[in-house]
Amino acid sequence: MMSISEFAIPFRYKTDRTSPVRWLFSHTIHHWFIFLVAVIGTIGNAALAAIPAVQFGVVFNTLTSAAPDNAVIRQAVIIILVSQLVRGLFQFSRNFGFEVMAQRMERDVREEFYISLLGKSMTFHSLQSVGDLMARATNDIREVNFLFSPGINQVLGSLNFLFIPLVIGAQINPVLLLAPSIFIVAYFIYIAYYLHILEPITSRVRATFGIMNSRLAEAIDGAETVKAAAQEENEIQLFRKNIKAYRDASVEQGEVEARFIPLLMLALTLGLGLLHALMLFQAGIIELSSVISYFSALSLLGFPTNTSIHSYSQISLGLAGARRLLSIMNTENNLDQNENGFAGTMRGEVAFNNVSFAYAGQKAALKNISFHVHPGQTVAIVGQTGSGKTSLVRLINRTYDPTEGQVLIDGRDLRDWKLDALRSQISIIEQDIFLFSKSIYENIAFGKPGATREEVENAAKSAQAHEFIMELENGYDTVIGERGATLSGGQRQRIALARAFLTDPKILILDDSTSAIDSKTEDEIQKAIKIASEGRTTFIITHRLSQIRWADLIIVMRKGTISEIGTHEELMRISRAYRNLFIEV
């Protein structure tokens, strides 16, 4: 059974997805206590960093006096030691708080993004690159983590240091506010400009990484096709091109960082500030010890300046990652979950009333389809490749909605059903069987978590899978490779049949699901399908004569329309097209 529903369970709390900043803030407020601890640590760490600058001036003033007072020097040393020990505790709370915050944010964002992906329709997933989604789900979310730590951690931790020279300079002499004030104003103006020019570059870094990852995933998934066509060299060249695009974007980001003007501004501020303080000292306005304290305070500007190079880049990358995540999460679902819809037990009556359907941006795949199936009937759908058989059955469980007309189950329009209630009673086995890299037991029990071993084994016996499973080294506990790569096609399809039988659906859809079963087991599989179809409505897309013959109703598809409909005997008698198809099969 294929689980392809629009997920009905919302994220644990409501988030604001109108912009990356609002979205991240709506996550942050749910961890306000941790954030508050980190901010208190940030403020305390910066405030205590100013104490040594003041005490250095006191010590120098004492040492240069006519009669140095050792008690004053000891007191200054004790104040510095104690203050810096306490500062270490504040710094720990800052770093630890922001790191915990970052990890919790990554956890919550990853969970919300995953829930959102499960909630998207198949229309969405059919248009998305798995590699690009994986890049967003891993690296872009990781960039959100780095946005908080070290990004915001260093930004908030360093911003407080900008104001220490103002406080100390004002205490010494108000005119000493000139140099740090000019630096601070110029610093914030440049940071605004820096983020402005960095935003498109970091967005390009994340986008090119997604493209590179997408192509890598396709090449790995299609490795057999690449080798069979001897296209390794072409794939290497294409991947090299994608790597170059990512490298160029990253180098451009590094180039912008290398031209970080505040580093030059810092050097000029230190020089001009010291010159200004010395001029005041020569004029007899301030003491030499005040010059030392002031210059020590000015030196603290180095921390916010040096950390800004990477911390603001990390914030820009984090926002670019958040923007890419939101672009996926804000994509509208094509199907309404209808949480308040009908959720009763279905009987299995299916009706199509003048149904037409077209995939997005393509011509109609189905045109004016009408038929009626009674509960418990078995319907065989036949036709040439591309005639619309799979498109038709995908409307039954609302993988897609019809563009025109109605599909009804038990007399109710599918859009009137609660979506998960509808799909929980419909089981689909696709031609391309998907199995998880788990044990055979877990794969069979996927649609019914908590199923007993006896229930799983009975389902496997019904699907004629029990015998080959027991021949495996670990039986039902055997872990199969990704997509069931360690099993044959027939074995994969029998496990999928067992998975469907276990859920006991009211409507069973088999999309050419027995195509890979060898002739030796075909009769047993037909018996299993007949047993499984008893008491439930069954749709079978098939070219096998044995399955077509015993169907209660046969629908012949041709170019998206119903060419003929009836029983096998009726169609053999009245339809040349069906007779020809039957003979070809």
**pLDDT confidence band for 28 (50 / 70 / 90):** very high
First to last CA, the chain: 27
Joined tokens for residue 115: 């829930």
- pLDDT for the residue numbered 515: 55
Closest alpha carbon to 15 in 144, 201, 195: 144
Q: What angle do CA 405, 407, 413 make, to 5 degrees?
A: 100
Q: Are 513 and 431 in contact (CB under 8 A)?
A: yes
Joined tokens for residue 263: 């580093």
d(CA 538, CA 532): 9
Q: What is the pLDDT of residues 165-222, one digit of tens each?
A: 888 888 889 999 999 999 999 999 998 998 899 889 998 998 898 888 888 877 777 7
Q: Does residue 227 surpass a pLDDT of 80? A: no
Q: Of 194-203, 220-229, 362-371, 569-578, where does mean pLDDT reach its minimum?
A: 220-229
**Domains, in order of start, for the chain:** 20-329 (1.20.1560.10), 350-584 (3.40.50.300)
Joined tokens for residue 486: 């360690």
Higher pLDDT, 98 or 527: 98
- pLDDT for the residue numbered 5: 40
Q: What angle do CA 496, 502, 503 make, to 5 degrees?
A: 100
- pLDDT for the residue numbered 332: 64
- pLDDT for the residue numbered 374: 92
Higher pLDDT, 434 or 469: 469
pLDDT exceeding 70 applies to what percent of the chain?
89
- pLDDT for the residue numbered 123: 65
Q: How many residues does the chain have?
A: 585
Give the type of residue at 326: L
Residue that has been written with the tokens 């208190």 in this structure = 40
**pLDDT confidence band for 1 (50 / 70 / 90):** very low
Q: What is the pLDDT of residues 398-414, one digit of tens each?
A: 888 898 999 999 999 98
- pLDDT for the residue numbered 3: 37
Q: Does residue 68 surpass a pLDDT of 60? A: yes
d(CA 488, CA 521): 14
CA distances from 151 to 148, 160, 194, 429, 476 (A): 5, 15, 15, 48, 48
DSSP 377: -
The torsion region of residue 55 among left (phi > 0), alpha (psi -120 to 50) and beta comes to: alpha
**pLDDT confidence band for 20 (50 / 70 / 90):** very high
Average pLDDT, the chain: 83
Closest alpha carbon to 538 in 525, 553, 557: 553
Higher pLDDT, 461 or 1: 461
**pLDDT confidence band for 522 (50 / 70 / 90):** low
- pLDDT for the residue numbered 268: 92
**pLDDT confidence band for 90 (50 / 70 / 90):** very high
- pLDDT for the residue numbered 8: 45
Q: What is the pLDDT of residues 286-345, one digit of tens each?
A: 888 888 888 888 988 888 888 888 888 889 999 999 999 998 888 765 556 677 888 888
- pLDDT for the residue numbered 238: 85
